[in-house]
Amino acid sequence: MADAALATPLPATAPIRRREGAMVRNLRAVMMVWTRDLIRLKRTPTRIVTGVAQPLLFLFVLGAGLSHLIGKQGAGGVNYQQYLFPGILAMSVLTSSLFSAIAIVWDREFGFMREMLVAPVSRSSLVFGKALGGGSVAVVQGLILVFAAPFVGVSLTVGSFFAMVGFLLLLAFALTSFGIVVASRMQRMESFQMVMALVLQPMIFLSGAIFPLAELPPWLAVVTRLNPATYGIDAIRRVLLPQIAPLTIFGWVVPLWADALITLAFGTAMLTLAVRLFAKTE
């Protein structure tokens, strides 16, 4: 076999006839990083199962258990399982976005990152591709949960479905960008547990995913309104449950477009920061 290999001509090492320009290359790099995340998701089905299991547990066990205790009044006019449904969608998107982004740390420890970082493409296209990839993966995970909607009495129309997908995308993109920033400050995979405990869980608990944000003690009211995830979740809930009371900040009713704008602004800021953190060469 070695002899055959030696006899093989090597046109591959001839100069490239028409190398693509920087613009085309960067765009294709964005697509590549994006596609890579989706291919990896497809090839690790256990990840999909794990990603869906926890939200379903919340919805059907915690939700069913607590709905008797809470009643419709406490959940803003809907029963608690209905209230919780948009919450667990968001919870799944949050978890998945952060996981995807933190996979960068994994890449950094085990190599593929280096392949990307030494390539003649801009760091921003790598970061942008990652934000899109992590975001898409998160939305795919979230959409699997939509099948649970009829079982908890949440009805979807074509309009509300697409509005929901739109807000899920926005939230996933923002949270993945945030995750990339977190990942860029992380040294090792070991600090992953720390991120879960100090970032992800507080973010979920303080977002209105699990309990309504009306009539909270003042400090909690302030903290929840400072949480960027709160606005995306509020939007998803209002789209799915139009009868629910909207989010207010000191009595001001936050309009839907403001929810979208705040989430987008947060995502853009995080993405810009992520690009800056990755663009540096020591």
Partner 1 sequence: MPGAAAPAVEVDSLVKRFGDFAAVDDVSFEVQPGELFGFLGPNGAGKTTTISILCTLLMPTTGVARVAGHDVALEQAAVRESIGLVFQEVTLDDYLTGAENLRFHAVLYGVPPSEVRERARPLLEMVGLSERADQQVRFYSGGMKRRLEIARGLLHAPRVLFLDEPTIGLDPQTRLHIWNYVDSLRTRESTTMFLTTHYMDEAERCDRIAIIDQGRIVAIDTPDALKASIGKDTVTVSTADDGAARDALADGFGLEVELTEDGARFRVTDGEAFVPRMFERLRIGVRSVNVRRPSLDDVFMEYTGHELRDADAGAGEQFRANAMVRGFRRG
Nearest partner of 188 among 74, 104, 97, judged by Cα: 104
- Bridge partners for 248 per DSSP: 253
Smallest distance from the beta carbon of 95 to partner 1, in angstroms? 20
Nearest partner of 229 among 254, 258, 270, 259, judged by Cα: 259
Residue with smaller CB distance to partner 1, 10 or 226: 10
Smallest distance from the beta carbon of 169 to partner 1, in angstroms? 24
User: What is the contact surface with partner 1 in residues (CB under 8 A)?
Assistant: 1-2, 5-6, 8-22, 24-25, 28-29, 31-32, 36, 39-40, 43-44, 108-121, 184-185, 187, 277-278, 280-282
Distance CA 226, CA 219 (A): 11
Residue with smaller CB distance to partner 1, 64 or 117: 117
Query: Contact at 8 Å (CB) between 94 and 175?
Result: yes
Residue with smaller CB distance to partner 1, 112 or 162: 112
Smallest distance from the beta carbon of 12 to partner 1, in angstroms? 4
Task: List Cα–Cα distances, 101 to 21, 107, 111, 163, in angstroms.
Answer: 28, 10, 16, 25
Smallest distance from the beta carbon of 22 to partner 1, in angstroms? 7
Smallest distance from the beta carbon of 201 to partner 1, in angstroms? 24
Query: Contact at 8 Å (CB) between 280 and 249?
Result: no
Query: Contact at 8 Å (CB) between 135 and 37?
Result: no
Residue with smaller CB distance to partner 1, 45 or 159: 45
Residue with smaller CB distance to partner 1, 82 or 184: 184
